[in-house]
Structures are given as structure tokens and as C-alpha cells.
Amino acid sequence: MSQKVLDLCRLLPGPLAGRMLADLGFEVVRLLPPAGDLTQALSPQLYNWLATGKQTITLDLKTSDGVGQLKALVAEAAILLEMNRPGVMERLGVGPETLRAINPKLTYVRIASYREAALYEAPGHDLTYLAGGGFIPRFGDGWKYLQIADGAGAYWAVIAALDGLRKGGGFYEVYLSEAAAGLAYPPPIKLDGSIVCYGIYPTREGQLALGLLEPHFWQRFCAAVGREDWKASAFSPAIESNPVYVEIKNLLAERTADEWEALALTHSFPARKVQPYVPPPSTIPWREAH
């Protein structure tokens, strides 16, 4: 079976899906128009990270040579990713019907904006997808720090691609306006730093994240720090008028985050030092055992 992926995408969702497939071991060929990708100018670090593991070719689909080159590549490809607005690829003569006639086993994945007929050809970006889908009330200011619909859309595009491979080919449209729905489950209560057992605390050096929701973890923490009197206060409010909250802050300020993390590992309760951001070397969070 072919392991070649043709990534015709720009910006974030499609190139992220291509990066994920490259990390999975597929041969990913990125096909960019002569104008390139706006991401390269706006965010070079992101552009380079998304390009990791891919071969990049300039391809002008507005020319007959470019169309012919794409068709030749499709004949040997397993997956094609594109995120042009609906109808663009068809007008260029390289829509899903045409390309899958060349290679019936091709899995063609289009990352689109909207499913609804009235909005089907409308443009969009992460923020507008979140707004129109009713996700802003759920995610709040999260859109400022993470492209939620775009990121979720990339994962759904990969799932669609793998589903197509399993079925021997197909045409899929992944709607970014709906992609975040899987992450918009009803919010778990109290996981917002409002209770003493679950939040981020300053230490003598660095910050420490405590995740002590389960009673046995909270009790291990209390025992480890010699404060058995806190055992009934795990879900008490993280506010200055709560003596337990103030005492925890004062206690954690006595040691460094590294020291607290070492204690947590010794006593088996979840607490980790807040680390600086570093771009991840891979998008794959598993180890395959043989």
C-alpha cells in the first residue's frame, strides 16, 4: 500500500494534519503554490515546525503543467489533503471525482469551513468557527492562546484519512466549524483553580501544579507535608479568606518547585513543576510496543 501523502494545505489545520501523518511514518509531500504560505511570514517558527518531515515542492495548479504534475503524483498517492474553499479544486480540474478516477484507492480529505448550505462557501478562521459554533462561552479566552477549531480539525482530518485507508479510499469533508465539538463537552466543575487541591501555586523558585482531586491523592499530600488537619479541606475555596488556602501557599513558598516535584514522586501524588514552553519534537503521544 502506498504511504505517500500529498499536502496541498496552507496556514494551520491542513499542515498540522500533514505533520501528524509524517510523524506516523507516511511520506508527506507538501505542494505549495508559487506565492507560498502566509504562515512563513507571520510565524516562521510555526511554519518550520509544520514542515518537519515533509518534502516541499512548488506547484502551480493554475497552469496545465501544474495540473499534470498533480495528477501524476496522485496516481501513486494514498492520501490527499486540501483546504481550499469548496469548488476551487473542481474549477481547476483536480476535484475529488477527477483525482479518484485516476486513483480509486485515493483518500481525498478536504478541510472545509461549514456543512450548512447557506455557509458552505463562506470563508472562516478559528475565531469565527468558535463564535458561530457556540464554543466561545465554553472556551472563554482560550482562543487567544490556542487555535482550538483548527487544532481539532487537524486531528479529525487525520482520523478521516486513516478511515479512508481502512476502507480502501474515499472523499471526506472535515468541517472546522464543528471540529471543536468533541472538546466542548460540559465543563467539569472545580477544575479552574477555584479549589485548593487543584491549581497552580508559586513556590520559592518556579510554579507548582497540584492535581489532587481524588481523596487518596489529597490525603497522601497532607500526610507528606505533615498536615493531617487539612484532610477535610480539599474542595475548600482557593481564596484569601480561606485559612487552608493561605497556609498551603505559605508552605509551598518554602521550597522550590523542583523540591516539591521530587516529594510528589516519592509519595505518589500528582504535582509537577510548571515547565517553559518548548515546541514538541513529535505529535505522536504513544510508544508502539512490539
Please give the pLDDT value at position 289: 87
C-alpha cell at 212: 489532587
Please give the pLDDT value at position 1: 64
Please give the pLDDT value at position 209: 98
- Confirm if 28 and 21 have CB atoms less than 8 A apart: yes
**Residues in the chain, how many?**
290
Please give the pLDDT value at position 256: 98
- Confirm if 209 and 272 have CB atoms less than 8 A apart: yes
Q: From first to last of the 290 residues of the chain, give the pLDDT tens digit.
A: 679 999 999 999 999 999 999 999 999 999 999 999 999 999 999 999 999 999 999 999 999 999 999 999 999 999 999 999 999 999 999 999 999 999 999 999 999 999 999 999 999 999 999 999 999 999 999 999 999 999 999 999 999 999 999 999 999 999 999 999 999 999 888 999 999 999 999 999 999 999 999 999 999 999 999 999 999 999 999 999 999 999 999 999 999 999 999 999 999 999 999 999 999 999 999 988 87
Please give the pLDDT value at position 61: 97
Q: Is the pTM of this model over 0.75?
A: yes
Q: Which 3-state string (H, E, C) describes the chain?
A: CCCEEEECCCCCHHHHHHHHHHHCCCEEEEEECCCCCHHHHHCHHHHHHHCCCEEEEECCCCCHHHHHHHHHHHCCCCEEEECCCCCHHHHCCCCHHHHHHHCCCCEEEEEECCCCHHHCCCCCCHHHHHHHCCCHHHHHHHHHCCCHHHHHHHHHHHHHHHHHHHHCCEEEEEEHHHHHHHHCCCCCCCCCCCECCEEEEECCCCEEEEECCCHHHHHHHHHHCCCHHHHHHCCCECCCCCHHHHHHHHHHCCCCHHHHHHHHHHHCCCEEECCCCCCCCCCCCCCCCC
- Cβ neighbours, 10 Å, residue 194: 13
- Cβ neighbours, 10 Å, residue 231: 13
